[in-house]
Chains A and B, each alone.
Chain A
Amino acid sequence: MFKKFSPSTDIAGQSALKSSVQRSIRAQLLETLSIDAETLEQIWPKKENLIQVKCREHITIFTLHGVPLFFQHFDDKIMPSLRLVHKYPSMLPHVKIDRGAIRYLFAGAHMMCPGFTSAGGALPPADAALPAGTVVAVHCEGKEHAAAVGILKLSTEDIKKVNKGVGVEIATHLGDDFWNVQKI
């Protein structure tokens, strides 16, 4: 999503959000992220206004004091930035790719099912299965920190069953152009 993204050319405009919109974003975040209102308050205090940064290709970045916290493509689910996920590692459910897949992740590829089902990968057990469309943090074999944020293309059970094709569509990964934007 953020290939060749450059803040100086790809940002169309910034604006403060209406308080009604802020409220609905807050509600949406509490729904998608596994954080409580208190934690969200730490991340984004109620009295502070989120700034909406409109970018090319229908990407919207939400910043607080210039720091990108969340982003959104069209009106898909709002996703947290990878740096935010690093700060609150449990805000998203985890999936894990094997070591062999890491380099493809860094090259900007979407993650294929076998990367999750092989010995080094991991998916939640059947009783904690995640449906398609869930925003997940992609972790890597042998690493502590999440390396990407993406959306499940298939449910985790289907990834195990089908075991081919794209399992997770990567929205942002370590080292991509969004990662490198620390302030807008």
Chain B
Amino acid sequence: MADDEQPTQPIAGPSTVLYCQGTRATLVGGFTVLTDPFCFLRHARCTTLFSAVCSLPPEYCEFGSHLSKCKAWLEDAYPGLYQEYYSEEALASKVGTLSLDKQAKLEADVAKAEAKAEARAANEEKKKAASKVIIKRIERQKRKYVTSIAGLETFGVDLKKASKALAQRFATSAAVSKTPAGGEEIVVAGDVADDLLELIEDASEGKGNKTSAMFKDVPPDACEIVEEKKKKGGAGAGGE
């Protein structure tokens, strides 16, 4: 169907390509927050957020895992293309050289993947509702503190950018580090736990500047400040 041979003359300009928006995204405070939890591809702007737009060329949606959403979008936005891809004849010819049972298997697999993705999304949604942001005040030496913030990624915060912004905001240093549990947290030098909570509270009320905008989707109720005193023999405090 597609022409395989290279065109002989040089191309005049870039061709425009349509990408699927079967699941829609909106840009909020620099992060793409997906309004639709039912997708499985992870989007760049919210790598730690579980969901993303389909973003494939629509002819490939059948290989993604939220085909029904993609189809609904395409039918609405580009009815002509919808006919081209999903009309009876299109479906019949699409099978191409694939045997019928293989096609049936493919469709069954897609349906399964879609169901799985939905279950996963629902699960993540639940997890998100239950998840917490832990702000930990850690005493490193007598009256020397670092503050770790774990769990921000669940709420669409780009850790690397956020740590940079926090370092600037509090005129200190900050870094993203791995937690023993395998996750990631931001570690800020100095005791900024209370300031941080304030910043998150401001952000959720829409106050503040660019730094707080990053945290606008973090519900203050999910935040908790924890103290970690210096212990003899240190029981593996975060980051070291």
Chain A residue nearest to B161 (CB atoms) is A8
Q: Looking at the assembled complex, report how far the CB atom of A117 sits from the nearest CB atom of chain B, in whole angstroms.
A: 12
- Known interface pairs A8-B48, A39-B11, A143-B2. Does A98 touch B60 (Cβ–Cβ under 8 Å)? no
Mostly helix, strand, loop or mixed at chain B's interface?
Answer: loop
Are A103 and B109 neighbours in the complex by a CB distance under 8 Å? yes
A119 CA / B42 CA spacing, docked (Å): 34
A106 CA / B97 CA spacing, docked (Å): 19
Find chain B residues with CB under 8 A from A89 CB: 15
A34 CA / B94 CA spacing, docked (Å): 30
> How many residues on the A side are at the interface (Cβ–Cβ under 8 A)?
47
Contact residue among B1, B63, B96 (Cβ-Cβ distance under 8 Å from A98): B96
- Asked whether A127 is an interface residue with its Cβ less than 8 Å from the other chain, the reply is no
- Asked whether B130 is an interface residue with its Cβ less than 8 Å from the other chain, the reply is no
Residues of chain A whose beta carbon lies under 8 Å from any beta carbon of chain B = 6-9, 11, 34-36, 38-39, 42-43, 83, 86-90, 93-94, 96, 98-100, 102-103, 106, 118-120, 122, 139, 141-145, 147, 174-175, 177, 179-184
Are A94 and B4 neighbours in the complex by a CB distance under 8 Å? yes
- Known interface pairs A103-B63, A180-B52. Does A90 touch B6 (Cβ–Cβ under 8 Å)? yes
Are A183 and B44 neighbours in the complex by a CB distance under 8 Å? yes
> How many residues on the B side are at the interface (Cβ–Cβ under 8 A)?
42
- Known interface pairs A36-B10, A98-B96, A175-B64. Does A8 touch B17 (Cβ–Cβ under 8 Å)? no
The contact sample of 24 A-B pairs, CB cut-off 8 A, is A6-B47, A8-B47, A8-B158, A8-B160, A8-B161, A8-B176, A35-B11, A38-B10, A39-B11, A43-B14, A86-B15, A87-B17, A93-B6, A99-B94, A99-B95, A100-B102, A102-B63, A106-B63, A142-B2, A145-B17, A174-B57, A175-B63, A182-B44, A183-B44
Q: Looking at the assembled complex, report how far the CB atom of A183 sits from the nearest CB atom of chain B, in whole angstroms.
A: 7
Find chain A residues with CB under 8 A from B159 CB: 8
Q: Looking at the assembled complex, report how far the CB atom of A147 sits from the nearest CB atom of chain B, in whole angstroms.
A: 7
- Asked whether B171 is an interface residue with its Cβ less than 8 Å from the other chain, the reply is no
A31 CA / B48 CA spacing, docked (Å): 38
Chain B residue nearest to A85 (CB atoms) is B17
Q: Looking at the assembled complex, report how far the CB atom of A143 sits from the nearest CB atom of chain B, in whole angstroms.
A: 5
Q: Looking at the assembled complex, report how far the CB atom of A91 sits from the nearest CB atom of chain B, in whole angstroms.
A: 8
Interface residues of B in 99-138 (CB under 8 A from A): 102, 106, 109
Residues of chain B whose beta carbon lies under 8 Å from any beta carbon of chain A = 1-2, 4, 6-7, 10-11, 13-17, 41-45, 47-48, 52, 55-57, 59-60, 63-64, 93-98, 102, 106, 109, 158-161, 176, 184
A50 CA / B23 CA spacing, docked (Å): 32
Which 5 pairs show the lowest CB-CB distances between chains A and B? A120-B97, A87-B14, A119-B97, A86-B17, A181-B44
Are A177 and B10 neighbours in the complex by a CB distance under 8 Å? no
Find chain A residues with CB under 8 A from B6 CB: 34, 90, 93-94
Find chain A residues with CB under 8 A from B2 CB: 96, 139, 142-144
Contact residue among A43, A96, A142, A180 (Cβ-Cβ distance under 8 Å from B43): A180
